[in-house]
């Protein structure tokens, strides 16, 4: 179509989101985030090990139901996807959480996903295909790492202007993300061969929202335990990065792994639903999570303050 999503979305839109993040993020925050190994391990293990395994076990129960089997396979592909390169960062920023950690895990998870996602698809779905790792890796490097570095370099020269004017970075990222979702929906539902029954679609939508809510609650419980070592801002990044799945990386990867598959459109549907659902649910929860984070931070400050000596 006239929007040319194969160029504007694949390259320009994703690059714009990370250039935007590089421009808005303080360099010292990004470097300190690299050292938070425990947080990164938690997010990556939850996303790429626990998530797909839990979905697989759940689908064993659903396989006896009349739900379309290709939509169920699509749910499994959602579980195998890496963290997103945009939505988790935008929502973490909106809450005021650890944005630097969210950016690192989004980028690092995407690079891990290049290797791990096709292997997970092979393990759970038995799809075998020659995946061009080099081209995907180079594309990710050019659209994620390079724009982030350029953004950081540009920030050094216009730092004072940025702090004075405070451009609406969050709004810009949200608009770009909306464009990504719109073009992907158009691409999938323009397929005349898509055979979708309403019952299966409604059930899958309900399952997706239930899975997201359950996993967000689970990550919240784990990251707020006593002696977890995570700050309230870390918990925000963990909630979004661990439960969100990449559409911008996922759809091209599905097209590569399931090339020539007649049911590719149906397999893609759950991911197409999951992505806007995670943004919608995340956006609705932003005020609640923000008020929790602020009150928790105030409570922690009060407990750390030295107590005044008692006069006898």
Of 302, 180, 296, 150, the residue nearest 231 (C-alpha): 296
Q: CA 80, CA 74: separation in Å to the nearest integer?
A: 10
Q: What is the pLDDT of residue 78?
A: 92
With vertex at residue 248, the alpha carbon angle to CA 44 and CA 179, rounded to the nearest 5 degrees, is 135
Residues with Cβ within 8 Å of 150's Cβ and at least 6 positions away in sequence, in order, are 19, 22
Q: Looking at residue 130, what is its pLDDT?
A: 56
Domain map (residue ranges) of the chain: 5-294
Confidence (pLDDT) at 132: 61
What pLDDT is recorded for position 58?
Answer: 92
* Residue position matching structure tokens 């918990």: 235
Residue 254 contacts residue 117 (beta carbons within 8 Å): no
Rounded to an integer, what distance in angstroms lies between the CA atom of residue 87 and that of residue 1? 25
- Classified as helix, coil or strand, 63 is coil
What is 5-294's CATH number?
1.20.1530.20
pTM: 0.74
Q: What does the pLDDT look like over 212-249, one tens digit per residue?
A: 999 999 999 998 887 878 888 899 999 999 999 987 67
Spans of the chain, pLDDT less than 50: 128
Residue 72 zone, left/alpha/beta (φ > 0; ψ -120 to 50; rest) = alpha
Task: Give the pLDDT score at 220.
Answer: 93
Give the model's pLDDT for residue 238: 92
Predicted confidence at residue 45, as pLDDT, reads 93
């Amino acid at each position: 179509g006239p929007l040319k999503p194969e160029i504007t979305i694949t390259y320009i839109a994703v690059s714009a989101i990370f250039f935007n993040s590089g421009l808005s993020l303080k360099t010292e925050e990004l470097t300190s985030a690299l050292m938070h190994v425990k947080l990164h391990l938690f997010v990556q293990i939850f996303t790429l090990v626990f998530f797909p395994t839990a979905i697989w076990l759940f689908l064993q129960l659903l396989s006896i139901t009349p739900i379309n089997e290709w939509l169920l396979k699509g749910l499994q592909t959602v579980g195998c996807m890496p963290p997103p390169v945009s939505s988790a960062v935008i929502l973490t920023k909106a809450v005021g959480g650890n944005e630097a950690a969210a950016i690192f895990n989004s980028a690092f998870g995407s690079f891990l996903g290049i290797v791990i996602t096709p292997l997970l698809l092979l393990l759970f779905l038995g799809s075998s295909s020659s995946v061009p790792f080099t081209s995907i890796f180079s594309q990710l490097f050019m659209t994620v790492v390079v724009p982030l570095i350029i953004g950081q370099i540009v920030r050094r020269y216009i730092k004072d202007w940025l702090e004075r004017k405070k451009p609406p970075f969050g709004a810009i990222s949200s608009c770009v993300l909306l464009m990504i979702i719109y073009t992907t929906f158009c691409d999938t539902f323009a397929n005349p061969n898509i055979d979708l029954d309403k019952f299966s679609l409604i059930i899958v939508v309900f399952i997706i929202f239930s899975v997201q809510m359950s996993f967000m609650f689970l990550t919240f419980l784990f990251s707020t335990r006593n002696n977890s070592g995570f700050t309230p801002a870390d918990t925000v990044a963990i909630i979004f990065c661990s439960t969100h799945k990449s559409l911008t990386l996922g759809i091209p990867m599905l097209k590569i792994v399931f090339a020539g598959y007649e049911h590719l459109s149906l397999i893609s549907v759950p991911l197409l639903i999951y992505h806007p659902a995670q943004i919608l649910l995340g956006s609705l929860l932003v005020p609640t999570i923000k008020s929790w984070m602020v009150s928790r931070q105030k409570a922690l400050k009060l407990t750390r303050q030295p107590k005044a000596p008692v006069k006898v």
